[in-house]
Amino acid sequence: MGRPSNTEQRKQEIVEALLRVMSECGYEKASIQIIAKEAGLAPGLIHYHFKTKQEILLALVNWIAFSATERLEKMSEEVSDPWEKLGAFINARLAKGETELPQVVSAWVVIAGESIRQPEIKEVYQGLIEKQLEMLKTLIAEVWQGKSIESKEVVHLSAIIIAAMEGAFQLSATANEIMPKNYAAQSVLALIKNHIGA
């Protein structure tokens, strides 16, 4: 009957090894050999579980996107007040003491760079951004009196807020002194509050 499959667990180990290596070396310099060593596995095994290196990256991007989405959804379910929901959304990605590892932040910046030349990565990247944008539009429409979810004001505000959040990620990875993640969240929230006159 053979041993029970542990493929899923192994795959996850490999993906997380890539995350750790990539957050220090970037994607190209994260060689299969190094990923294997980081994961404590033999190099050959990597290609048993993933056909190509890009497939691992794709799995990583999907995993990060999935985790983020999942966390966002859970957080917005836990609270019911619209403003609290909005706060939860912002905090979920930007607040200090997050489950979000600093490695994920660095990796995310690297992923953005890779998405420039790898359409498959770009697609997943865009998917996450779009999902976030949808959520944010909904949340902002809820707190902004008299504005419909597809009104120009809501759309623009949401987009620029998403940009600010992505930018905060980038700066916290590349210029940490300037943008510590801890005050990014409150600044963003304050910005929104003032903007819609709450």
Partner DNA sequence: TATGAATGAGTTTTCATTCAT
Partner DNA sequence: CATGAATGAAAACTCATTCAT
- The footprint of DNA (CB under 7 A) covers 1-7, 10, 28-34, 41-49, 51-54
For residue 191, state whether it binds a copy of itself (rule: CB under 8 A).
yes
Give the one entry of a copy of itself, DNA, none that residue 175 binds, where binding means its C-beta sits below a cut-off of 5 to 8 angstroms depending on kind: a copy of itself
140, 196 contact by CB (below 8 A): yes
Residues composing the chain: 198
For residue 133, state whether it binds a copy of itself (rule: CB under 8 A).
yes
92 vs 179, beta carbon nearer a copy of itself: 179
Shortest distance, CB of residue 190 to a copy of itself, whole angstroms? Answer: 8
For residue 122, state whether it binds a copy of itself (rule: CB under 8 A).
yes
3-state helix vs strand vs coil in the chain, percent to 5: 75, 0, 25
Shortest distance, CB of residue 26 to a copy of itself, whole angstroms? Answer: 5
Looking at this protein, which amino acid is placed at residue 89? F
Q: Kindly give the interhelix angle for 7-25 and 32-39, rounded to the nearest 10 degrees.
A: 120
CA 94 vs CA 70, 163, 169, 183, 185: distances in Å: 15, 12, 8, 8, 5
Shortest distance, CB of residue 67 to DNA, whole angstroms? Answer: 23
For residue 170, state whether it binds a copy of itself (rule: CB under 8 A).
yes
What is the dihedral sign for C-alpha 24, 27, 29, 33? positive
Give the one entry of DNA, a copy of itself, none that residue 160 binds, where binding means its C-beta sits below a cut-off of 5 to 8 angstroms depending on kind: a copy of itself
37 vs 122, beta carbon nearer a copy of itself: 122
Stretch 70-109: interaction string toward a copy of itself, x if CB under 8 A: ------------------------------------x--x
Token pair recorded at residue 167? 């930018």
Determine which residue in the list 25, 41, 79, 143 makes contact with a copy of itself, applying CB under 8 A: 25
What is the dihedral sign for C-alpha 50, 70, 171, 119? positive
Shortest distance, CB of residue 8 to DNA, whole angstroms? Answer: 8
117, 57 contact by CB (below 8 A): no
